[in-house]
Amino acid sequence: MMDGKGSNGNGSTPSFTVNASGTTPFTKQYADPARAAEAAAHHRWLSQLEAVAIPALLEETESDLMFENIDGRHAEPGDLVAVAATMGTLHAAAWSTHLHQAELHRPFRCGDLTIADFLSPRRRVLARFPEAAAPRPAALYKDSNVRNFLITERGVTVIDFDDLTLAPFGYDLAKLIVSSAMTYGRPDPASVTDALEAYNARIPAPAACPHKLLRVYTDIHHELTAPYLNRHGYRYRWPEVSPWPAA
């Protein structure tokens, strides 16, 4: 199940390689060639949306993907609103270009890429949260771990292309909130509200994620991420750092 892991939790290893021009591309190595090919396909699809900043894929082999190196820092709690806005822009572009034709319970074919459905890889946890499995407009899940965004002089850059599935609008935003809290501690509730508003302002109005449903999605991500506590940068238990009082 991909939703809970942190960066490099799937057999891939980042490294750096200096090329002839003196720049330093970022090379990600994969133990499984199929995973490398999937990540490259995800990158191509997201690049074609031309919605957000992502690093160029410079070279692809069976085991390595070499990306343009981006000068920036990983997102922090103070960046939640900016990252949420970037996610909203990406999800809106994916929906208007392709995903308005998608259904969450079916894999979606888009050119040479098949995007996995939302339900199949999450059936066990969704059985406990049936409201999350209801039919809704389809966006995407790209593992919006807080470490998968870089803050640069030009704004937010999206990195890491290993995982891609269909998901309802707001689901990947919940991953950002949970991963940030489990990494840095309890966020300011006002910043979480502002992040949701920034996200909703950029997506189609009928797809807006209500606050109540966002909380359901964070509960799902808590269950999926809890096994990784004290790994991949996760230092805090979600129940102790949730921005909302216990129900």
Burial of 227 (0-12, 13-18, 19+ CB in 10 A): exposed
Mean pLDDT of the chain: 92
For residue 134, what are the contacts with CB-CB under 8 A and spacing of at least 6?
A: none
**Cβ(25)–Cβ(71) below 8 Å:** no
Q: Which CATH architecture has domain 73-241?
A: Alpha-Beta Complex (3.90)
**CA dist 177 to 22, 112, 191, 228, Å?**
37, 32, 10, 16
**Cβ(207)–Cβ(171) below 8 Å:** no
CA atoms within 13 A on the CB side of 96: 14
Residue with tokens 């999450």, as numbered in its chain: 122
pLDDT score recorded for residue 18: 36
Res 6 pLDDT > 80? no
Amino acid at 200: N
The three-class DSSP label of residue 113 is strand
pLDDT in tens, 193-222: 999 999 999 999 999 999 999 999 999 999
- At 86, is the pLDDT very low, low, confident or very high (cuts 50, 70, 90)? very high
pLDDT in tens, 181-201: 999 999 999 999 999 999 999
Indicate the domain borders of the chain.
Answer: 12-67, 73-241
pLDDT score recorded for residue 205: 96
**pTM score, two decimals?**
0.91
